[in-house]
Amino acid sequence: MPDSAPNADFAAATMMRLIAAGLARQGLSVTLRPLSTAHVPRREKQDLLGHIYASHGARAICALADAAPHMPPEPVVEALRRAKGLEDLMQRWQRMERFSHGRHRVLTDPQASGALRLTHQARDTGPAPSAIESLLVVSLIAILAEGATSGHVALHSDGGAVLRRDGAWQVGDVAPAPGPVLLRVEKARADGPTRQAGRHDAALSDLRERIVADPLRRWSVAEIAADAGLSPRTLQRRLATQSLSVSSLIAEARLQVAAGHLCDPDGPGLAEIGFLAGYSDQAHFARAFHRAVGTTPRAYRADFRA
């Protein structure tokens, strides 16, 4: 029996952070509330995507996925980006669905032509995803597939509309009709021009790298600001422009360190990982990881260990 409670269907906060990163990458200004847990009400994500679509069209929805390789460290994205090939990617995606897209799933159907037919649909008798939600999901899979295969992906709707080809989105302002899509890895790609980070982006990246390099250090605002050559107030203002704070920067760095160890088949034990990532104790590690990612460190390791 489907649950009719308005907040019963949750989407991973990872997807909301991807949307935020994708909006910033496109220079689009949309107000987002800060996220403090690994899940958000599905209606919140639907409303946000609906607003983006109404204001900027379908291409902007697809282009949100372009941020995946460039966004701040995300354990779920990190696990998916470690895939070696399309089959491995889809296996990882389908394992991820149980905590990232619990109400929806992507069915895969290999075609004789070599394409992979993807259908984003409701799990069991739950509510179906919106057409815009599905467009974002298949767009994200396409971007991840390009990284996993080092190839260009051709993405077509079941009706023949071209969504992506030769490393570029081809969709117009109007979203294609809901339904399956066909994904095909067409060819290895040559290295193209990369986006040059702005001065503030580079400084923020440097700060993350410093914290990641020594997550056991009890970082203070004054210390981080001094390392960046800024006053504490200027540092906090610059972080606030990207909806960040010193505490969130430290939390991201700890998650990045922990996720790297958890994905390593020869990595240390869970208690040691909690220590190496800078958490105060194993319980703190488990709580913080579950709150941010939506699953326990042990389950994450079982699902995504290379």
Residue 1 lies in a domain: no
Domain boundary among 138, 159, 188: 188
Strand partners for 182 = 117, 156
Domain boundary among 158, 188, 218: 188
SS3 state of residue 304: helix
In DSSP notation, 141-195 reads HHHHHHHHHTEEEEEEETTS-EEEETTEE---SSPPPSS-EEEEEEEE----PPP
Q: What is the mean pLDDT of residues 52-63?
A: 95
Find tokens 């193209």 and name the residue.
192
Whether 65 and 173 map to the same domain: the answer is: yes
The domain containing residue 242 runs over which residues?
A: 199-304
State the pTM of this model. Answer: 0.71
The model's confidence at residue 74, banded by pLDDT at 50, 70 and 90, is: confident
Q: What is the mean pLDDT of residues 177-203?
A: 68
Residue 188: predicted pLDDT: 65
Answer whether residue 295 shows pLDDT above 70: yes
Whether 182 and 206 map to the same domain: the answer is: no
Of residues 263, 227, 265, 225, the one with CA closest to residue 245: 225
Answer whether residue 306 shows pLDDT above 70: no
Which one-letter amino acid corresponds to residue 8? A
Find tokens 């649950």 and name the residue.
3
**Total structural domains within the chain:** 2
Residue 137 lies in a domain: yes
Beta strand 10-12 with 162-165 is: unpaired
- Identify the CATH number of the domain in which residue 225 sits: 1.10.10.60
More confident residue, 8 or 48: 48
In DSSP notation, 26-87 reads HT---------SSEEEHHHHHHHHHHHHHHH-HHHHHHHGGGTTTSSP-HHHHHHHT--SHH
Of residues 205, 193, 202, the one with CA closest to residue 73: 205
- By percentage, how much of the chain surpasses pLDDT 70? 87
pLDDT digits (tens, 9 = 90+) for 123-178: 887 788 899 999 999 999 999 999 999 999 999 998 889 999 999 999 988 888 88
Six-digit token pair at 41?
């009400």
More confident residue, 198 or 217: 217
More confident residue, 73 or 253: 253
Residue 7: predicted pLDDT: 38
pLDDT digits (tens, 9 = 90+) for 88-119: 899 888 877 765 556 789 999 999 888 999 99
Six-digit token pair at 58?
């379908």
Residue 217 lies in a domain: yes
- Identify the CATH number of the domain in which residue 121 sits: 3.90.1520
Q: How far apart are alpha carbons 57 and 304 in whole angstroms?
A: 34
